Amino acid sequence: MYLCEPSILLHRHRYDDETGPMTDHHSVQKIIQQAEKSSIKKTLLNNFLRYIAIDTQSDPQSITSPSTRSQFILARMLAKELKKLGLTGVSVDDHSYVMATLPANTEKEMPVMGFIAHLDTSPDMSGKNIHPQIHEDYDGKDIILNRGKGMVMRVKDFPELQKYRGQTLITTDGTSLLGADNKAGIAEIMTALHILTDNPSIRRPTIKIAFTPDEEIGKGADHFDVEKFGADYAYTIDGGELGELQYENFNAAHAKITISGVNIHPGEARGKMVNACLTGMQLNSMLPAADRPENTSGYEGFYHLISFQGNVEKATMQYIIRDHNLKLFEQKKAHLRHIAGLLNQEIGNGKIVLEIKDQYYNMDSKIYPVIHIVERAKKAMESLGIHPLIRPIRGGTDGARLSAVGLPCPNIFCGGHNYHGPYEFIPLESMEKATLVILKIIEMAD
């Protein structure tokens, strides 16, 4: 293990063999065979460390777009690199969306394919002064993240570590998140572009690239210009562990409940006081305990109380409501309205005001008509010896909202674990596999 300051310079690498450019129809396979010689991992690591050195933490309280100016720093860096690689139409707009085109190198007409990742990191934990640690040839034991703070990533708490014995793990030093969500995705896309531009024998359709701001606060698609992007479909490289392939996500809504109470001196309160906080507690108790995030998994939806503030006179509660099944989603919203109605009858009409706003919907209905793009990703993984983990997203992505407006976007792994916190880690080998999956998907296009 060594502590690595993210200041390594990027170097272009040739991925040809020693006899010159590759000309056969198995270019990606040859790159795979020569992976060690071609230094794919080195390029990935260099890219990743440079990108995580830039603080791009988004801010849910901000009213600007992007929510933090620092996202422009990474956006402009990436635009400069894209231009250097020879991509065309490179732009950074007023909202920090980066877009670029890698033109097709075949005369065959094929649909335009896109790849998307996001610039920002989670607002849940600081993205400043990230000090990544590199653990080469990981021995499968507990990892000391920060001896001074007593922070240890224990195998008993994170048993998935055992999958990566002998690999190179990148972790935090326990003082910040790592930023693999989603700078690993950016690094993988950029590395794939390096390989494609160095190996023109890999047949490709027109490729569109986009890097978006503010995905972590649900605003990544707010100003995404689908027409300007110009792809027929795209893949977000924003998933978790090796093999994840996702095209289903939650239907989502936000609920705000405002409760007006009646504040009377407690000595004279009998029959008169209405305690807004207690009413809120009663309301929450009427929701099924089994439908809380901590009690659900897979396709199971939930009510999640994310905020409760107030006093006797007034209380405000906020929930997020989630379900993959649209019918069950509507039932959950209806049930919350029913409970609010019952309590209004009990304490006096008008004292409880419920506002529900839909946020996004399951992308599955938009993906099924073009399910072949999911099948292509699945076959690409299998051809590389990766077992596809087709599972629902227990959340939302830019891809869900983009799918809703006509840009189908299944989601592919970028390799990380434990996002948004100090125990975040990513195997370098998983990043390499994600890069090769991107290349294989492109090679399989028709």
Write down which residue in 331, 360, 389 finishes a domain. 360
Residues 319 and 416 in one domain: no
Q: Return the pLDDT at 397.
A: 78
**Which of the four pLDDT bands, split at 50, 70 and 90, describes residue 63?**
very high
- Between the alpha carbon of residue 6 and those of residues 9, 53, 128, 390, 416, the distances in Å are 9, 6, 12, 33, 18
Considering the domain architecture, whether residues 375 and 351 belong to the same structural domain is answered as no
Total structural domains within the chain: 2
Catalytic one among 55, 120, 181, 323? 120
Final residue of a structural domain among 360, 380, 406: 360
Domain that holds residue 290: 252-360
CATH number assigned to the domain comprising residue 30: 3.40.630.10
Query: Tokens for 319?
Result: 């929930």
d(CA 342, CA 362): 30
CATH number of the domain where residue 303 is located: 3.30.70.360
Q: Name which of 352, 440, 359, 364 is nearest 403 in CA terms.
A: 364
Q: Does 222 score more than 70 pLDDT?
A: yes
At which of 360, 392, 418 does a domain end? 360
**Whether residues 288 and 425 fall in one domain:** no
Judged against a pLDDT cut of 50, whether residue 18 lies above it is answered with no
Beta strands of 104-205 (E only): which ranges?
Answer: 113-118, 133-135, 143-146, 151-153, 169-171
Q: Record the pTM.
A: 0.85
Residue 196 and residue 63 in one domain: yes
Are residues 373 and 340 part of one domain? no
Tell whether 168 and 232 lie within a shared domain: yes
Residues 109 and 32: their CA atoms lie apart, in Å, by 27
Q: How far apart are CA 229 and CA 248, in angstroms?
A: 23
Q: Are 73 and 105 found together in one domain?
A: yes
174 and 292: one domain? no
Average pLDDT of the segment spanning 369-381: 97
Q: How far apart are alpha carbons 230 and 117 in whole angstroms?
A: 16
Verify that 354 and 399 share a domain, yes or no.
no
User: Do 152 and 290 share a domain, yes or no?
Assistant: no
Q: Are residues 23 and 34 in the same domain?
A: yes
Q: What is the mean pLDDT of residues 210-233?
A: 96
pLDDT band at 395 (very low <50, low <70, confident <90, very high): confident
Contacts of 121 (CB under 8 A, 6+ apart): 55, 56, 57, 58, 127, 177, 179, 181, 182, 183, 216
Length of the chain in terms of residues written: 446
Is residue 215 annotated as a catalytic residue, yes or no?
yes
Q: Is the Cβ–Cβ distance between 62 and 68 less than 8 Å?
A: yes
Among 215, 216, 244, 432, the one annotated catalytic:
215
Q: Which of 416, 407, 61, 410 minimizes the C-alpha distance to 217?
A: 61
The mean per-residue pLDDT over the stretch 273-299 comes to: 97
Residue 10 has a pLDDT of 34
Rounded distance between C-alpha atoms, residue 61 and residue 75, angstroms: 21
Inform me whether the pLDDT recorded for 424 exceeds 70. yes
Annotation says 120 is catalytic: yes
pLDDT of residue 293: 96
Tokens of 49: 């460390």
Amino acid letter at 64?
T
The rounded Cα 250 to chain-centroid distance in angstroms is 14
Max Cα–Cα distance, the chain, nearest Å = 94
Q: Are residues 100 and 168 in the same domain?
A: yes
